[in-house]
Structure 1
Amino acid sequence: MSSFTTHLLSVTTGRTETVTDLTADCEQFLTRAARGGDGLLNVFVPHATAGIAILETGAGSDDDLLTALQTLLPADDRWRHRHGSPGHGRDHVLPALVPPHATLPVIGGRLELGTWQSVCLVDTNTSNTNRSVRLSFLGQ
C-alpha cells in the first residue's frame, strides 16, 4: 500500500541572489514521512521566479551557478516582462533553466543523493524574500 505525505517549508532568501541548501530540511521531512520506507521525494517551489537544483554546495559551485545565471540572464532592460526591480524579467525566465521541481529516490527512508549532491533552492528575485517549498513523499 502506498502513502502520500506533504509539507510546506517557509524559506527566507534575503535581498541577494541565493542558492539555499534544503537537504537537511528534506532529510528531516523524510524521517517523519518515509519512516524507513522506499519511494520518491518531490521538491517543488510554487513561484514563477525560483527553481530547484541538485548541485554541490560550499565548494564554490553554488556561487558559480549564480555567476552563470547572471551571464546567461543579465539584469538589464532587455526583458519584455518589466514590472518589479530593473531586469526582473530575467527572474521569470529562470525556471526554464533551473526547473521549479526535482524528484529524487528515497531508499530505506533516506535520500539517494551522490556524495557531493545537495537539494537547493535557487532564487534570483531579490524583491521576493519569502519563499515556499513543498516537499511531498510518495512511498510504501
Structure 2
Amino acid sequence: MEDMTRQATGRLSVETRGRSMQDVSRRIDGWLAEHAAGNGLLTVFIRHTSASLTIQENADPDVQTDLLDALSDLAPAGRRWRHDAEGPDDMPAHVKSVLTDVSLSIPVMHGRMDLGTWQGVYVIEHRDHGHNRTLTLCFQGN
C-alpha cells in the first residue's frame, strides 16, 4: 500500500484587541478545509514572545475573563521588572507566555480539529494594546 502522508503549511494573521483571548478555531478549521486535510496532526505555533496559545472552554466567556485575571495576578504589570523597554506590560506579557503555550499539537479527524464539545483554540494577547499576531500552521496526515 502506498503511503499517502502529506504536509501542508501556512500562516494566519490575527488582529488582537489588547489583553484578550480570541477564539481562532473556525479560522483554523477553515484552513484545514482549504488544504483538504483528512486525518493527521496539526501543529499551531505563534511567532511572538508576548502572546500565546491555549485550548480552553468556549461556552462561557467568564472563563476567559477569569483566566486573564489569574495570569495578571501571577505576572502583574505593577511589579518592578528589569525589562521594561517596551512599557510596563511587556515583561509581564513574556512571563504569561512562558506560563501558557506558544505551540499546540492537535489531532485532526475527518478534516477538522478533534476538539472536545466545549473546547476552542485561543490566541491570548498579553499586551495592553492590540497587535497583529502570526500563527504558523503545519498539517501532516492524509
Fold shared, TM-score > 0.5 on shorter chain: yes
Shift of 1:127: 4.6
1:48 alignment partner in structure 2: 49
1:3-33 Cα offsets, whole Å, 9 max, x none, are 111121111112x301010000111011122
Secondary structure of the residue aligned to 2:139 is: strand
Instruction: Say what the alpha-carbon RMSD is for the aligned residues.
Output: 1.4
2:67 alignment partner in structure 1: 65
Identity, in percent, stands at 36
Secondary structure of the residue aligned to 1:86 is: coil
1:38-91 Cα offsets, whole Å, 9 max, x none, are 101111101011111000135111111101111111012422211112142111
Give me the whole-angstrom Cα distance separating, in 2, the residues matched to 1:115 and 1:20.
Answer: 18
1:13 alignment partner in structure 2: 16
Secondary structure of the residue aligned to 2:26 is: helix
Give me the whole-angstrom Cα distance separating, in 2, the residues matched to 1:83 and 1:17.
Answer: 19
Secondary structure of the residue aligned to 1:99 is: coil
2:39 alignment partner in structure 1: 38
Shift of 1:128: 5.5
Secondary structure of the residue aligned to 1:79 is: coil
Q: Aligned in 2, Cα 1:87/1:36: closer, same or farther, shift over 3 Å? A: closer
1:133 alignment partner in structure 2: 135
Runs of 4+ that moved beyond 4 A: none
Counterpart of 1:49, as a letter, is S
Q: TM-score w.r.t. structure 1 length?
A: 0.91
2:110 alignment partner in structure 1: 108
Q: TM-score w.r.t. structure 2 length?
A: 0.90
Counterpart of 2:69, as a letter, is T
Correspondence 1:4 to 2:7: yes
